[in-house]
A = this chain, B = another copy of it.
Amino acid sequence: MRQVRIAMAQINTTVGDLEGNTAKILHAIQRAKQEDVDIVTFPELAITGYPPQDLLLKPQFLHDNRLALERIIAQTDGITAIVGFVDQEDDIYNAAAIIHHQTLLGVHHKNYLPNYGVFDENRYFQAGVTKHIYQIGDITFGVNICEDIWYPEGPTVIQTLSGADLILNLSASPYYVGKPEFRRRMISVRAADSVVVVAYNNLVGGQDRLIFDGGGVIVNQAGQTLAQGKLFEEDFVTADIDLDDVSIAKLNDPRHRKAVLQMKLDDASMCQRICAEPLPARRNRPVLTPTCSSQDRKAHEPALSPNMLRAKEIYAALTLGLRDYVRKNGFQKVVLGLSGGIDSAMVATIAADALGADNVVGVLMPGPYSSQGSLDDAHALVENLKIHHHVIPISPIYDAFVAQLSGAFEGRQPDVAEENIQARCRGTILMALSNKFGYLTLTTGNKSEVSVGYATLYGDMAGGLGVISDVPKTTVYALAEYRNLIAGFDLIPRNTIEKAPSAELRANQKDSDSLPEYSVLDEILRAYIEHDKSIDDMIALGYEPAMVKDVVRKVDKSEYKRQQAAPGLKVTCKAFGPDRRLPITNKYKG
């Protein structure tokens, strides 16, 4: 029986933290040795964190990353480790080190470099061309990196046809809603197509706008899950694999045998076989029972509807993204304005879950048009969450602004200028608390508002992180329902959820004065922003032409605001920011 024990160290790395990441890697190697593991893998670019962006253009950074790799190599006595790093040869490569028993056996250079969406890998890396395989004793495996495995014709195929029974993929695949399931399905099909075991290790953790969801998976040659890493948490996933089963499956698969022949006729020179002696000590160990962490945990929870399952996934993503942004940037506490509305209530709740209630400071800032109901709702939330709070009325400040501007504004009626002054009084108060006490300010705008510019730059947009700025308003409601459901009571006050949304910046203002109902608005926004539909396309879908044109115009003319927004956590397939790069100066009316 050709048996191999694999471990996937699903670790939460931090960009630039070469010391800290190396310490995590060494710790996992130590654990793998204790658990009699043959091969331990790490996420993509584990040494540098992902994505290192323009740090890659600093020679010293590349050098330091290489020194870290050398430190790791020295600690691999008696084990094989596959570690992501940046390889500098004729150019720089997104690379995986194949380390065996204190020797660097080989290096895989990522063949497929993503350069779309949030990715800019062509900016940095040269694409690799080789797809070697490694034979350690009777274990033959191939290594590839993230994007490599998304291409049906990619390295996995060539490595398998050249003799690999096992593919070890190192990934840093960012989250958006539904992505974990989509990714698992792809890995399963890829394994079954190639008749090979795939161990797919995915990064976990928040990095600026991106949330890496982990959820690594080991699937067998039939595409069945052998082991699965937790979602949104670090994990250490192990599995024992019988490679003879892979051989049997290959011999019985006519597609596979035909493809081997075809590759021999084509150029197979990109794949060499690199061999090393096995380590003798590993063979007398009891076989592990397969575990699937995520599935186990589901058993303890109430049954959720598909909509609530989706909300659960997004909620977990936002919690991780918020926690890591705050902690990795060295902050302890956060501050945010509480209006009594759903958005700030949602953000406060996520923050309390992510950081602990004691690390959340809510500020109630009633102004000239604030209602008592809103204040009551905000107070109720503070009670429910048990967070700190201040009440700081803005009217005296607002009045001072209006008085000082009275000369310049002479003869003009109040309009959006006065509304924005109120929002900016609030932004300045939150930033003053941030400056005085070292809190990170959270912004609370949702994607629907941010899309149409229904937000005040330097006002409610002031802050270090946009927690729900990629969450459409209708999804914010779903998140609130989800959170109340698992709380077992209205943690987020029912009135906050049920009242008509209002910015309360003038008398009797309602969001619906200037915007379509959110259920309709969110559909139009999804079509326009996420799916690049034209005005004509959307009218053809049945939306009212004037409404479509008005929404598109509002989205387009708010681009300048979004380019000055705090980074926002990405949870949809297209978030604002690096994911959607539009000019501000833009006369296209599309």
Contact = CB atoms under 8 A, between A and B. Distances in A.
Contacts of A433: 405, 408, 417
A495 interface: no
A307 interface: no
Given A580-B54, A586-B15, A404 B409 contact: no
Contacts of A329: 560, 584-585
A5 B381 CA distance: 76
Contact of A565 (B396, B436, B564): B564
A432 interface: yes
Given A52-B583, A583-B15, A436 B407 contact: no
A425 B427 CA distance: 11
A400 B401 CA distance: 9
Interface string A554-590: 0000001001111100000000000011111111101
Contact of A325 (B58, B428, B585): B585
A78 interface: no
A166 interface: no
A14 B586 CA distance: 7
> Residue among A424, A560, A581, A585 with the most chain B CB within 10 A?
A585
Contacts of A409: 432, 436
Interface in A381-435: 390, 392-394, 396-397, 399-401, 403-405, 407-409, 412, 415-418, 420-421, 424-425, 427-429, 431-433, 435
Contacts of A564: 564-566
B393 A404 contact: yes
Interface stretch (A32-40, A282-290, A529-537): A529-537
A567 B582 CA distance: 13
A61 B556 CA distance: 14
A356 interface: no
Contacts of A390: 407-408
B428 A55 contact: no
Contacts of A54: 580-582
Contacts of A417: 432-433, 435-436
A86 to B, nearest CB: 12
Contacts of A15: 583, 585-588
Contacts of A18: 588
Nearest to A65: B588
Given A390-B408, A417-B435, A436-B409, A585 B207 contact: yes
B424 A401 contact: no
A358 interface: no
Contacts of A401: 397, 428-429, 432
A428 B424 contact: yes
Most buried by B among A54, A120, A432, A462: A432
A20 interface: yes
Given A404-B394, A458-B458, A532-B57, A583 B51 contact: yes
Contacts of A580: 54
A340 interface: no
A122 interface: yes
A53 interface: yes
Given A16-B586, A583-B53, A585-B325, A431 B420 contact: yes
A567 B583 CA distance: 11
Nearest to A328: B585
A573 B14 CA distance: 29
A436 B412 contact: yes
A212 to B, nearest CB: 12
A207 B583 contact: yes
Nearest to A115: B122
Nearest to A58: B532
5 contacts: A58-B590, A60-B535, A60-B536, A417-B433, A428-B428
Given A52-B583, A409-B436, 19 more contacts: A14-B587, A15-B586, A53-B581, A53-B583, A55-B588, A64-B588, A115-B120, A115-B122, A208-B583, A329-B560, A390-B408, A392-B407, A394-B404, A399-B400, A415-B436, A420-B431, A424-B431, A424-B458, A431-B458
